[in-house]
Amino acid sequence: MLGFTKNNDKTEEAPEVGADEKNNGDKKIKATKKLKPKIGLALGSGVARGWAHIGILRRLEEEGIQIDVIAGTSIGAVVGGAYACGNLDRIEAWARDLQDTNFLRFLDFRISGGGLFGSNKLGQIMVDNFGDRNIEDLGIPFTAIACELKSGQEIWLKQGPMCDAIKASFALPGVFEPIRHEHKWLVDGALVNPVPVSVCRAAGCDMVIAVNLSEDIYGRARAKRQGILETGEYGVFNEIASAPTALGRIGKRSFIKRLFGHQEDAPSLFANMVASLNILQNRLSRSRLAGDPPDVTILPRCGHVGLMEFHRADELIKEGVLAFDEALPHLKDALAIIHHRMNS
């Protein structure tokens, strides 16, 4: 595993000035320096549901909570990387602009190769938003999590081109083609570490905040009972069959219809594959978090949104805000306890 070098340096606040020092210029009292906890943020995988991360990052800023380390898996790497680059505004604007099937414009449909979709178009979006920056040059230490396809090894991408690391981290097996990196084929990090708390711990963080997008597994059933389910049971491109203009050539349309078409009471081939990966992610995240629990967990209720419903950014960002506000009292308590422990 490619890990961080542990760094236990603490960021220091401005010295406090004692009352005697203010009132008596001749008598100096040694100023005390208070240590500030090093805070890590672990942003979990979840495909389209990852837009909820945006709302959480906005609320962290509003509360004045400074993040010192960011680790992201899959869509968590996309949003976390944008924040580390200072380009969160641009990613948020792009996400909010997506409408229904226009996300299909950014997919390279393929019949052969390592995935159903190529990464050329999405890769260009990464370049537009992240440029040619290297991870080690960012203002906030950042790591993207990927998985080496041959060995199953967990890979921590913490240096090199930002765009390549993010593309590797969200290369969902079978959906997007694997990414070649240093003579290895890398796929989505959700296969090995869906919520990368361990990366923040290895970076020497005193406190880790985790965002888990996969826990609300009954969200779609809840939405169905309430009559607010926008698409079918699995929420995976169900509208494609009725959007022929988005599919291009006739041959391609036929292939896509076979891939996404389904009987009324059965999932499509694509839905079956993606939903199965979601189950794997949910079970694995529970196991990993039980073995290495964060100090604070934020759980957006976004299970009612399909994994590929990228056009629902507005409500997902709101869900992120709501989840953060629900966790805020616990977050403040944890910060106070850790701060006291470090300075007592």
**Which one of the listed residues 188, 206, 216, 295 is annotated catalytic?**
188
pLDDT at 111: 60
Per the model's pLDDT, the better-predicted residue between 120 and 176 turns out to be 176
pLDDT confidence tier of residue 17, bands split at 50, 70 and 90: very low
Q: If you average pLDDT over residues 110-121, what whole number do you get? A: 70
pLDDT at 1: 45
What is the C-alpha to C-alpha distance for residues 296 and 289, in angstroms, rounded to an integer?
11
What pairs with residue 73 in β-bridges? 145
Asked if pLDDT for residue 258 goes beyond 90, the answer is: no
Q: What is the pTM for the complete model shown?
A: 0.82
pLDDT confidence tier of residue 13, bands split at 50, 70 and 90: very low
pLDDT at 220: 56
Q: Which two tokens mark 237?
A: 């491109």
Helix (H, G, I), strand (E, B) or coil at 182: coil
For residue 188, indicate whether it is catalytic: yes
Asked if pLDDT for residue 156 goes beyond 90, the answer is: yes
Q: Which two tokens mark 337?
A: 């306890």
Please enumerate in sequence order all residues whose Cβ is within 8 A of that of 198, keeping only pairs 6 or more positions apart, or say none: 288, 292
Residue entry with tokens 């909010």? 96
pLDDT at 57: 98
Per the model's pLDDT, the better-predicted residue between 211 and 20 turns out to be 211
Beta strands 35-36 and 142-148 are: unpaired
Which among 324, 269, 342 is positioned nearest to 41, based on CA atoms?
324
What is the C-alpha to C-alpha distance for residues 323 and 118, in angstroms, rounded to an integer?
34
Asked if pLDDT for residue 181 goes beyond 50, the answer is: yes
Asked if 162 contacts 139 with a C-beta cutoff of 8 angstroms, the reply is no
The burial class, CB within 10 Å (0-12 / 13-18 / 19+), for 272 is middle
**CB 275: neighbour CB atoms within 10 A?**
18
What pairs with residue 186 in β-bridges? 148, 179
Torsion of CA 339, 342, 343, 344, to 10 degrees: 110
Q: Report the chain's mean pLDDT, rounded to a whole number.
A: 81
For residue 214, indicate whether it is catalytic: no
Instruction: Name the percent of the chain lying above pLDDT 90.
Output: 51
CA geometry: angle at 131 spanning 129 and 134, to 5°?
Answer: 120
pLDDT at 7: 44
Asked if 275 contacts 234 with a C-beta cutoff of 8 angstroms, the reply is yes
Please enumerate in sequence order all residues whose Cβ is within 8 A of that of 168, keeping only pairs 6 or more positions apart, or say none: 144, 146, 155, 157, 178, 179, 181, 186, 187
pLDDT confidence tier of residue 267, bands split at 50, 70 and 90: confident
Asked if 298 contacts 213 with a C-beta cutoff of 8 angstroms, the reply is no
Please enumerate in sequence order all residues whose Cβ is within 8 A of that of 243, keeping only pairs 6 or more positions apart, or say none: 100, 101, 104
Please enumerate in sequence order all residues whose Cβ is within 8 A of that of 267, keeping only pairs 6 or more positions apart, or say none: 233, 234, 275
What is the C-alpha to C-alpha distance for residues 318 and 201, in angstroms, rounded to an integer?
29
CA geometry: angle at 214 spanning 170 and 126, to 5°?
Answer: 20
What is the C-alpha to C-alpha distance for residues 15 and 343, in angstroms, rounded to an integer?
13
Phi–psi pair at 212, nearest 5 degrees? -110, 115
Residues in the chain: 344
What is the C-alpha to C-alpha distance for residues 154 and 151, in angstroms, rounded to an integer?
9
pLDDT confidence tier of residue 10, bands split at 50, 70 and 90: very low
**Which one of the listed residues 45, 74, 198, 268 is annotated catalytic?**
74
pLDDT confidence tier of residue 176, bands split at 50, 70 and 90: confident
pLDDT tens digit sequence for 67-106: 999 999 999 999 999 999 999 999 999 999 887 655 667 7
